[in-house]
Structure 1
Amino acid sequence: MSLTEIFILSVIIGPLIETFLFQYLIIEILYFFKKIKINTIIIISSITFSLIHYYNLIYILVTFLSGIIYASYYLYLKVEKQKSPFLYIWFLHSLYNFSVFILDDILSW
Structure 2
Amino acid sequence: MKTFKLFLSCLTISIATSYTFVCLNHRFFHFKEQDINGEKPPGLVLIICIAPLIETIIFQYIMHHILVYIKIRNGWTQIVLMSLVFASFHLYSSFYMLMVFCSSIALNFFYIKTSKVNMLLAVLLTALLHSLYNLFGYLFVV
Fold agreement, TM-score > 0.5? yes
Aligned counterpart for 1:10 among listed residues 42, 47, 52: 47
TM-score, with normalisation over the residues of structure 1?
0.81
Aligned counterpart for 1:42 among listed residues 44, 56, 79: 79
Shift of 1:103: 2.2
Kept after mapping to 1: 8 A contact 2:83/2:105: yes
Partner residue of 1:99? 136
Kept after mapping to 2: 8 A contact 1:27/1:71: no
Cα distance between partner residues in 2 of 1:73 and 1:37: 15
In structure 2, relative to structure 1, the CA distance for the partners of 1:78 and 1:43 (3 Å cut) is same
TM-score, with normalisation over the residues of structure 2?
0.64
Structure 1 stretches of at least 4 aligned residues deviating more than 6 Å after TM superposition: none
Percent identity over paired residues: 32
Runs of at least 5 residues in structure 2 that lack an aligned partner in the other structure: 1-40
Partner residue of 2:110? 73
Shift of 1:66: 1.7
Residue deviations 1:14-37 (CA, integer Å, cap 9, x gap): 111111110111012323455532
Cα distance between partner residues in 2 of 1:55 and 1:34: 32
Q: Which has the higher contact order (CA 8 A, sep 6+)?
A: 2
Partner residue of 1:87? 124
Number of residue pairs matched by the alignment: 103
Tell me the SS of whatever aligns to 2:92: coil
Once structures 1 and 2 are overlaid, which stretch shifts more, 89-98 or 23-32?
A: 23-32
Runs of at least 5 residues in structure 1 that lack an aligned partner in the other structure: none
Partner residue of 1:57? 94
Cα distance between partner residues in 1 of 2:114 and 2:141: 31
Cα distance between partner residues in 1 of 2:72 and 2:140: 42
Shift of 1:40: 1.5
Tell me the SS of whatever aligns to 1:74: helix
